[in-house]
Chains A and B, each alone.
Chain A
């Protein structure tokens, strides 16, 4: 019995060489990346600030956290949600035509290559750069945030839309043709039902992501909950920082749960 086991065990391919090569490559990359640790300047002051932020979270500024005015956390959350919501919608309006002209089953291959390259290029520019550009257009404020999120969302929305469009079942269209349906009827009964639920689920997912993005747009002055946090941090108002961080956490956490539930419902009925 034992001999049998040992022969089976000895048949196991030796992966030692492969493992050691992988390990060596990783080690070399790691050592060559060590400059990333530069600039650490941990002083007792840094420690104190860290401690202050921590105590700020546990003793938040309640008048800010529960305040209903223009600067209260509730209004900031509403503004952040509004930016993400509108940004997703505007992004979708731009992405829908863009994805139809990038689907291989609708337009010829060369056109697809060009439009996909454009989408990829749009996706690479970091959101803060768009934010800074749009501030020159709309002035600082949540409007710039909406436009930034719209442009940033195009990349992912159209990438996923294209996949859905390329999965279209053309058999349905052919049978509608056989019925003698008009073009409008073909779109209404043949295409929209196939795309609708997927599109909406993609948008809900992107809304969830946009909400996270919207929380940082405040750094460049494009509205949302980020701006007051920067001010509070740079003014060393730790209790306000704590209140805003709690608001941020609740916002992202609740929206994530809700959007997961909603997408399950949309996709699986």
Chain B
């Protein structure tokens, strides 16, 4: 950027009171050039073509239209896997959040005063977080066999890393006064943490856990695609058999369930904050 500013002279204006002000040369051409290069490379790599899109897009609308009206009677086969999906998300989120607490304490530099432990725990959280949930679910199906347990493990890992990261960042910002006072009177670290820091972080902790749960319900719906149980399994099956009205019903059920859970959890989170 410095080189760019040197290459193109700044524009100088002389004001009526004799002062001169300068405005840097606009960076717009550079940004547009970079954007164009990015688009060209991407179009070349992905084989994007507008003409193909417009000639074939009718196929997309046809599939969409064939989902209507959703086959309502199919709901009797949908609710059980849907419930299973929610159960998976709940179980995974609950234990993930529970497990995140001790790790967050170990990662927070103001409670655990050991740089090595901090960095190791943070590295673990980062590694787990970068692996997409679907990939961890896939690997879990190889280790634990096909079924809901693999999905629960994947959701557990995601909640653990997500809540852990949010929580340790929050712990580092809390008011340390009471904690220091208690340690000064001779309380040991766990005792001081539970009485002074824990009440401060509890609302944020619960709210983050709820947020993770909300997202997980949405996400658990596709875990069945790799055989990790839940509603994704029948979804995948029905798409494969081109029973699009049943697919429509499944999507409708997911939609309703997600809306209900999000509303409840948003109310709870509002109450917590």
Contacts and interface: CB of A to CB of B under 8 A. Distances in A.
A89 B39 contact: yes
A46 B149 CA distance: 13
A102 interface: no
Contact of A35 (B64, B84, B254): B84
B49 interface: yes
A39 B147 contact: yes
Interface stretch (A59-67, A106-114, A171-179, A215-223): A215-223
Contact of A253 (B52, B126, B226, B247): B126
A137 B46 contact: no
A36 B46 contact: no
Nearest to B88: A36
7 contacts: A29-B90, A32-B87, A39-B148, A41-B149, A49-B142, A137-B57, A145-B46
A119 interface: no
A79 B46 contact: yes
Nearest to B93: A33
A50 B151 CA distance: 16
Contacts of A212: 132
B39 to A, nearest CB: 7
Interface of B: 38-39, 41-43, 45-49, 52-53, 56-57, 59-60, 63-64, 84, 86-88, 90-92, 94, 126-127, 130-132, 134-135, 138-139, 142-152, 218, 221-222, 225-226, 229, 232, 235, 239, 247, 251, 254-255, 258-259
A215 B133 CA distance: 11
Contact of B135 (A82, A226, A253): A226
Contacts of A248: 130-132, 135
Contact of B143 (A42, A146, A230): A42
Interface string A19-46: 0000000100110111111111111001
Given A30-B94, A129-B251, 17 more contacts: A34-B87, A39-B147, A85-B39, A86-B42, A86-B46, A120-B255, A124-B255, A127-B222, A128-B232, A137-B59, A137-B60, A215-B135, A216-B132, A216-B135, A220-B225, A230-B138, A233-B138
Interface of A: 26, 29-30, 32-43, 46-47, 49-50, 53, 78-79, 81-83, 85-86, 89, 120-121, 124-129, 132-134, 136-138, 141-143, 145-147, 212-213, 215-216, 219-220, 223, 226, 229-230, 233, 245, 248-249, 252-253, 256
Contacts of B225: 128, 219-220
B134 A219 contact: yes
B226 A219 contact: yes
Given A142-B47, A233-B138, A249-B131, A37 B152 contact: yes
Nearest to B45: A82
Contact of A133 (B60, B87, B138, B151): B60
Residue of A49, A133, A134, A219 with highest tally of chain B CB at under 10 A: A133
Contacts of B148: 35-39
B88 to A, nearest CB: 4
Nearest to A83: B46
A30 B86 CA distance: 11
B235 to A, nearest CB: 7
A237 to B, nearest CB: 13
A81 B46 CA distance: 10
Contacts of A49: 142-143
B37 to A, nearest CB: 11
Contacts of B254: 124, 126
Contact of A36 (B49, B84, B132): B84
A34 B148 CA distance: 11
B160 to A, nearest CB: 16
A143 B255 CA distance: 27
Nearest to B247: A129
B42 A82 contact: yes
Contact of B145 (A30, A42, A126): A42
